[in-house]
Amino acid sequence: MSVLQGAPLLVVGAGIMGAGIAQVAAQAGHRVWLYDLREGAAAEAKGKLGKSLEGLVAKGKLTAQAVDQTLAHIEPITALETAASARLVVEAVVEKLDAKRSLFRQLESLVAEDCVLATNTSSISVTAIANGLQRPGRLVGMHFFNPVPLMRLVEVVSGLQTEPAVAQAIHELSKQWGKVPVHARSTPGFIVNRIARPYYAETLALLQERAALPAVLDACLRAAGFRMGPCELMDLIGHDTNFSVTQSVYEANFFDKRFVPSLVQRELVEGGLLGRKSGRGFYDYADGAPKPALPAVNGDGPPEATILSVHGNDAVARRIRDALTARGRGFEPMPDSDWTGLEVDGAELRLTDGRPASQVGAGEAADVAVFDLPLSQAPGAALAWAPAVQASAAWCAAAPLWLQELGFNPQRLADAPGLVVARTIAMLINEAADAVHQGVCDEAGADAAMKLGVNYPQGPFEWLRGWDTAGVINLLDALDAHYRGERYRVSPGLRLCAWRRGLHEVECIGGGV
């Protein structure tokens, strides 16, 4: 496979994605032909790009000479035959299998035999697109993320017949364009759109159970380091788009319950409440609409306690000990306890293990409350908690005050297993482990894809290294036992990791059996 650096290329589709791909390629020095089926669309796209780049010149981010050079490399064309000498074609047309197949069959009759054919599809099987081509081995997925000039990730997706040399050539070219490429196997959702499903799905499930309001769930996940909460993000993406992707992944996985779409989101779509673009989704975007505020905890501090005990010896237990010490409170450390949290005169404030507080309270102390996985180190970060139904009114009032004493902004949820952050992170880890176990990508690729493609604060395997594998499995098993469905089944990759105690965590998932 010849090197593609500097090779002339054709971009088919002059929409937002196609124009962005053309810009990046032109800035890297390629001659770019830009084609669109709609008459005049390619020229319009170049004109819009010129205005956008001129705006960057005005801000001092680009020179006028660089803009002139970029635009000079892009030639809008009205016939595909004009670009017959292209060495690479990148397709960015409508997400319909028949349209993509038809285009590539047409291109095969025009370009040279060693021309690489790349599809920017975000969800359609690369293997299916290649079906019917004379040389299916030269077709590869080159999935960019929007906006293309700013987003660094490129998923390099290989179908069953994609030649390894073709995928590697696109991988190397992506790096030359300043991108971070990750190899992926062509399976539904590839890497990002597959692993990301739980981020939306867990919040949607909690909303369906009426566990909390959207603003509370969003605040708790922002506190965990995400730039936007799931409800905010779905409003930004558009519920029609987000629901369609979920539905596509669900159907392509033969209706696997892990990917089942949400009734809550379907109702929003059916009602035309699509988010920002319609003016309303989970939130109201009309001018002057009030922003939802988080509930505040009332009280001057927790009631006096005779005996304080800190259970556990993990990072959360150490954080509790440090917070109490900073407050000048004495406590008894109990590092050998089988749970993590704070005991106050016999009442228990436990880190969630995936069981509802009421289940914990039914078998042990009645005065039990659980709190979420505290990933934020920032003082006053939102943190979900829930009391057991058996808990006394006094403990229901005191528990959030103790969380406040420890430096959190407690947000009460209904007694949902795993609360919100713990179950969401566990499910993201589980989905990533399954993707690696099935050979879709490797661990480094999964981490890079999620951080660069959707701006996650950490990759799923980075979270796993900060949490123990057994703890993730136990939490998922508790969710599975509570809901009694397939959604929370543990990936075989995670179970293998737990069994291979002699191996380092990073080696466990991809070791193969």
pLDDT tens per residue across span 436-475: 999 999 999 999 999 999 999 999 999 999 898 999 999 9
Query: What pLDDT is stored for residue 498 in this prediction?
Result: 75
What pLDDT band is residue 499 in, cutting at 50, 70 and 90? confident
What pLDDT band is residue 497 in, cutting at 50, 70 and 90? confident
Q: Which residue has the tokens 């670009």?
A: 83
Q: Contact, 5 vs 173, CB < 8 A? A: yes
Q: What is the DSSP string of 3-32?
A: --TT--EEEE--SHHHHHHHHHHHHTT--E
Lowest mean pLDDT among 28-37, 146-155, 470-479, 498-507: 498-507
Query: What pLDDT is stored for residue 500 in this prediction?
Result: 66
Separation of alpha carbons 256 and 485, rounded Å: 11
pLDDT at 1 over 80: no
What pLDDT band is residue 513 in, cutting at 50, 70 and 90? very low
Neighbour count for residue 183 (Cβ, 10 Å) = 18
Separation of alpha carbons 429 and 461, rounded Å: 7
| The CATH classification of domain 308-412, taken from the options 3.30.70, 3.30.750, 1.25.40, 3.40.50 | 3.30.750
Instruction: State the fold for domain 9-186.
Output: Rossmann fold (3.40.50)
Same fold, 308-412 and 421-511: no
Q: Where does 421-511 sit in CATH, by number?
A: 1.10.1040.50
Q: What is the mean pLDDT of residues 488-510?
A: 67
Q: What tens digit of pLDDT does each residue of 71-87 get?
A: 999 999 999 999 999 99
Q: What is the mean pLDDT of residues 6-19?
A: 96
Query: 16: which 2 tokens?
Result: 């937002």
Looking only at the bridges linking them, the beta strands covering 368-371 and 381-387 are: antiparallel
Query: 216: which 2 tokens?
Result: 């509370």
What pLDDT band is residue 504 in, cutting at 50, 70 and 90? very low
Q: What is the mean pLDDT of residues 95-102?
A: 95
- The beta strands (E) that lie in 62-220 are given as 74-77, 88-91, 116-119, 139-144, 153-158, 180-185
* Beta pairing partners, 183: 156
User: What H or E segment, with its residue span, contains residue 172?
Assistant: helix 164-176
Q: Contact, 89 vs 119, CB < 8 A? A: no
Average pLDDT over the chain, rounded to an integer: 94
Q: What is the mean pLDDT of residues 151-168?
A: 98
pLDDT at 410 over 60: yes
Separation of alpha carbons 447 and 334, rounded Å: 35
What pLDDT band is residue 485 in, cutting at 50, 70 and 90? confident
Domain boundaries, the chain: 9-186, 308-412, 421-511
Query: What pLDDT is stored for residue 299 in this prediction?
Result: 79
Q: pTM for the complete prediction?
A: 0.93
Separation of alpha carbons 27 and 485, rounded Å: 50
Separation of alpha carbons 430 and 410, rounded Å: 27
> Which is more confident, 199 or 301?
199
Q: Which residues are catalytic?
A: 122, 143, 155, 193
Separation of alpha carbons 221 and 200, rounded Å: 11
Q: What tens digit of pLDDT does each residue of 202-250 get?
A: 999 999 999 999 999 999 999 999 999 999 999 999 999 999 999 999 9
Q: What tens digit of pLDDT does each residue of 358-406 get?
A: 999 886 678 999 999 999 888 999 999 999 999 999 999 999 999 999 9
Q: Which has the closest alpha carbon to 74: 104, 44, 103?
A: 44
Q: Which residue has the tokens 């709190």?
A: 371
The angle, 0 to 180 degrees and rounded to 10, between the axes of the packed helices 230-237 and 239-252 is: 100
Q: Contact, 398 vs 345, CB < 8 A? A: no
Query: What pLDDT is stored for residue 96 in this prediction?
Result: 92
Looking only at the bridges linking them, the beta strands covering 341-344 and 332-334 are: unpaired
pLDDT at 2 over 70: no
pLDDT at 160 over 80: yes
Query: What pLDDT is stored for residue 364 in this prediction?
Result: 64
Report which residue type is found at 260: V
Which are the contacts of 228, defined by CB distance < 8 A and separation ≥ 6?
Answer: 218, 222, 236
